[in-house]
Every structure is written in structure tokens, then in C-alpha cells.
Amino acid sequence: MIQAARKIYSYRLLAHLGITLTTIGIFVLGILVFVIPEENQSSLTAPLVLVTVLFSCLSCLSSARPKPSGDIDWFHPSALFLVFFLTYFMFPGVWLWLTHDYRPIWIRPANQPAYLVNVAFILGALSTAMFALGSSVRLLPSKKVTLKLFNRQSVIRHSEAHIVVFLLLIVGFITTMYNILLYGPLNFDILNNLSPSALRALSLNISNVIPVLESGLNWAVLIAIYLYLSQYRMNGKKRLGSLLVIGTLLVVVFVLDYVVSAKRSVVIPLILFPVIWYHYLIRRITFPKMLVIGSLIGITIAALLIARIVLPMITKGLAPSDYIGKSLSGVIVFYFNSMEWSTFEMFLASITQRSELLTEAGGAISGFIHYSFNTFIIFVPRIIWPGKPSYDDISYVYFHVIWGSNDNVGAAPTIWSTSYLFFGIMGLTVGMFILGWLLKVIYSFIQPYQGRLFGVFSYAIFFWIVFQFLRFGTIGFTFINFVQTMILGVLVGLFLMRRARVS
């Protein structure tokens, strides 16, 4: 016991020492970035990247523990923030530096590109520091209400669950087939609609109710998986027949959903949620396994994007190798040069073209309010409000300003871009501090590590919604994504795991 306590104390001491040293390093490098000329800026980038990565890992992982003496929870919000920061901020920034010599691919070239990239890295480190500081605050609201909802002793009503899964399958399948028929005849040409431009050309005015009902197909599979995991947790028995049926259904729904929606955000929860549930219900996933699982999910995300480009080409008789590369290395370069990885450049645009973006968005305060809450009109039927405006997103603003197009096409700006766009340096400091504190509060309320059924079930949804918020940077898009894809699962979960009467 004493030896374990000493070991934990040593780890914490080393972490605090590492955070202190990297903080000093970032501070010194930051001063140098602001004082030395452009021609010498390239000598600062490598050490700046190194200390920023080390600092972000140490600061975020130090707070990614359910308890001070516990192991790191790899599905903690701080761990998610860290992975997202390294993936969608640092990596595309390093890619821009190493493969394009600081020259942007998507946005207007800067007069001092190396200086701009280095400043962006410094601001990224500052935002991470404030997030970690917020997530380390111990001030928490009362848990009385939350304990009753998330941490109560509940059970899954198995007989009702089977009926619900069947009904969700029926409703989801009928709605999905209805949506497919809107695209045209059922043939191989339907793969053309994986292309966003082809889908926009159809000009389909689909009700917001359709995606909600379509999500029933996903939730039928997910509820079946959760039911299986909860039973396995109780009796430890693997039922191969059930696994075969669920696995087959999972593959069918995955393919069908992707063909209909062409959105990775619709199908990725089919993989991510079972992993999170397994982590909290059955066995904690270790760091090596997390690396393997994360790599597989990353490969799947990349493959789905490439498929969205390649399959429409094949249906048109084109050779994909003429466009995306003739070798694996060529395809990889094409992928990392795609708009998928324009997130760092969107942050650069928020710095260099902030006034233009704010003008297009309607101003800082008005734009923030509009793009945070305009999607709440989704609940107002058009029969009551015939002139209800269509949904728009802040990503459209970036596309309009940067590319000069009026099409409703977006590039994911991330929370860093929108925070700086609307509130400047205050957004990256106070805003990130509040975000870190708020995510910690919600995590401490749900307490998925306790293994309560509804808490674990709902935490997977929360985790995914936080990812969407970090990626698109606005409450508005996050809300509409929740309504269209997650709200049905929340309602079903509340129904199936309602409070049990225990004598």
C-alpha cells in the first residue's frame, strides 16, 4: 500500500516537473517568435512543436483520472481533448510545415508564413493550458440531481428491449428505404450520391424527422449490442449465435447507412459506442489496445472518405488513380492534402481574415448567438412557419470568405477557430478554461467508471457529442447533430433503463 502510494507520488511529481519545464520552454520560445525576423522563424518550429506536444500530453493526462490515485481513463474528456488537439491541430500544422514549407493549401498566403504558423502553435499551447487548468479545478456543483439520473441502480428490461429493437429495425429500415428511393432507382448509380456535390444537385427538401427515424436502424443494433454486453457482464457467457446475428446486422446497417447518408458521423458511432461500453462494463482498455483501436478507427475514417470520392468515379467510368494517386503513398498524400485536414488552416484564417469572417457572420456577438442557437428552430414545423429559414453553419462562412463561393459547403473549423473568431484571445483562454471545467463537471456527474448501466450508456453519447463540438466548434451544429442522430437513443435508453423498484 505504502509502496503504491510512493509510486503514484513519484509519477505526479515527474508530471508536475515536466509541465513546469515545458511551460518555461513555451514561454521562452514564444518570446523569441515575437522578436526574431521571418527568415529565422523556421529554426524555432521544431522545438516549439516538441515542447507543445509534451506539454499537452502531460497537462491533459494528469487530469484524465477519475480519482487522484487512479489510472488514466482513456475515454476521459481530457484524453479526448488531447487526442483531438494532436490530431486536428498539431498534425495538420506539422504537415503544413514539413511538406509545404509553411505555405497554406486552402487559404490566402500570408506575408510571414513561418511566423504565422509558429504563432498558431503558441496559441494552441495556450488554449491547452487553459483547458487543463479548467479541468483541474475541484469546484463542483451538487450531485444530488445527477446521482438520481445517471448513478441509480437500474436494469435493462430484456423483454421490452427485444420488442424495442424489433420496432426500431422496422421503422429505421422503412424510413431508410424511403430516403433511398428519393435518390432515384435502386441500382449501382446510387453510389453517385456519395459525392456531396451530386447530392446537393438533387435539391431534396427532406424533413428533419426523416434522419431521426432513420437513426432507429443504428439504435436497433446499438441497443442489441448493449443488451449483449450487459448480459455478458452478469453471467460471463459468450453466446456465439447472438454475436453472429448482431455482427451481421452491424455490417448491413453500417453499409446501408453510409450509402444513404454518405456521412461518417452517422456510422462511426456503430464502432465507437461498443468500444466505450466494453471499456466501462467489461474490462478497462489499456493504452496499447487504445493505440490499436484508435488506429483502426482512423483507418476506417480515412477509407470512408476515400470511398466517397472513388465510388462515384467508378460509377461514371473514371479511373480513380488518375485523381487520387497511383500508389499507396500517393493516396496518403492526397488524403492529408484534402479538406479533411484543413482544420489548422481554418485557424490561420481566423487570425489573418478575422474581420472578413466576422463581417460575413454578422459580427462577433450576433454571429455567436446566431450560430449557437439558430438550429433550435428545428422544433418549429414548417406548417406553422412556412418561411422558416434553412439551416446554416459557421463552416459555410469560412467557405464563402476563403473560396468566394455562395454554396452551402463547409470546412470543419474546430473549436479553436470559432473561439478565436468570436472572442479573440479571450476565447482561447477564458473559453477553454470554462470548457475544461464544464466537461469535468459532466464527467463527474455521469461517473461512467462506476459501471452503472444508464451512466455508461449515456456517456458514450456525451463523448461523441463532445467530439462533434470540438470538430465543428458551435453549439448550433452540435445540437442539430444530437437531435438527428442521438435523441432517439437517449429516449430509448431512458425507457429501457428506467428506475428499478428494489425491495
* C-alpha–C-alpha distance, residues 204 and 388, integer Å: 16
- pLDDT tens-digit profile of 310-328? 888 888 778 888 788 888 8
Task: Please say if the pLDDT value at position 6 is more than 60.
Answer: no
Mean pLDDT of 276-305: 91
Confidence of residue 50 (pLDDT cuts 50, 70, 90): very high
> For residue range 365-402, what is the model confidence (pLDDT) as tens digits?
999 998 888 877 777 766 777 666 667 788 888 988 88
Q: How far apart are CA 325 and CA 333, in angstroms?
A: 8
Residue type, 183: Y
Most distant pair of Cα atoms in the chain: their distance: 76
> How far is residue 468 from each of residues 38, 83, 301, 339, 478, measured CA to CA in Å?
36, 13, 14, 17, 6
**Amino acid 497: pLDDT:** 82
Q: Per-residue pLDDT for 349 more than 50?
A: yes
The better pLDDT of the pair 195, 441 is held by 441
Specify if 335 maps to a domain: no
> Hey, which residues does 154 pair with through a beta bridge?
499
> At residue 5, does pLDDT exceed 90?
no
pLDDT at 356 over 80: yes
Q: Is the pLDDT of residue 152 over 70?
A: no
Q: Total structural domains in the chain?
A: 1
Most confident by average pLDDT, 121-125, 443-447, 492-496: 121-125
Average pLDDT taken over every residue of the chain: 86
3-state secondary structure 317-350: CCCCHHHHCCCHHHHHHHHHCCHHHCHHHHHHHH
Give me the pLDDT at residue 1, please. 47
| Triad 453, 459, 460: Cα angle to 5° | 105
pLDDT-based confidence at 109, cuts 50/70/90? confident
Identify the weakest region by mean pLDDT among 140-149, 196-205, 216-225, 330-339.
140-149
Domain that holds residue 48: 2-136
Residue 456 domain-assigned (yes or no): no
Least confident of 31-40, 316-325, 342-351, 458-467: 316-325
The whole-angstrom separation of Cα 488 and Cα 113 is 46
- Average pLDDT (462-488) is 92
- Select, from the ranges 208-222, 419-433, 440-454, the one with the highest average predicted confidence (pLDDT): 419-433
Compute φ and ψ for 139, nearest 5 degrees: -75, 110
Q: Are 95 and 341 in contact (CB under 8 A)?
A: yes
pLDDT at 144 over 80: no
> 189's torsion region: left (phi>0), alpha (psi -120 to 50) or beta?
alpha
- Tell me which of 491 and 262 has the higher pLDDT: 491
In a domain, 351, yes or no: no
In a domain, 101, yes or no: yes
**What per-residue confidence (pLDDT) applies to 351?**
94
Per-residue model confidence (pLDDT) at position 254: 92
Which string of b and e fits 290-316 if b means at least 16 CB within 10 Å?
A: beebeeeeeeebbebebbbbbbbbebe
Residue 301 lies in a domain: no
pLDDT, mean of residues 177-183: 80
First CA to last CA distance, the chain? 38
Cell matching residue 142:
451538487
Q: What is the pLDDT of residue 463?
A: 96
Q: 204-251: per-residue pLDDT in tens?
A: 667 778 888 999 999 999 999 999 999 888 887 778 888 899 999 999
Lowest mean pLDDT, pick from 88-92, 97-101, 268-272, 443-447: 443-447
**Mean pLDDT value across residues 66-82:** 84
Residues whose CB falls within 8 Å of the CB of residue 481, separated by 6 or more in sequence, listed in order: 265, 465, 468
pLDDT at 322: 79
In a domain, 480, yes or no: no
- Does residue 410 or residue 270 have the better pLDDT? 270
- For residue 4, pLDDT beyond 80: no
Going by pLDDT thresholds of 50, 70 and 90, the confidence category of residue 146 is low
The reply to whether 255 falls in a domain is no
Q: For residues 457 and 459, give the distance between their C-alpha atoms in angstroms, rounded to a whole number.
A: 6
Query: Which of 177-181, 191-195, 285-289, 390-394 is the least confident region?
Result: 191-195
**Which amino acid, 468?**
Q
Which is it for the CA torsion 46, 48, 102, 418, positive or negative? positive
Please state, for a pLDDT cut of 90, what percent of the chain lies above it: 48
Residue 258 pLDDT: 87
- Residue 23: inside a domain, yes or no? yes
Asked if 468 contacts 418 with a C-beta cutoff of 8 angstroms, the reply is no
Supply the pLDDT for residue 502.
41
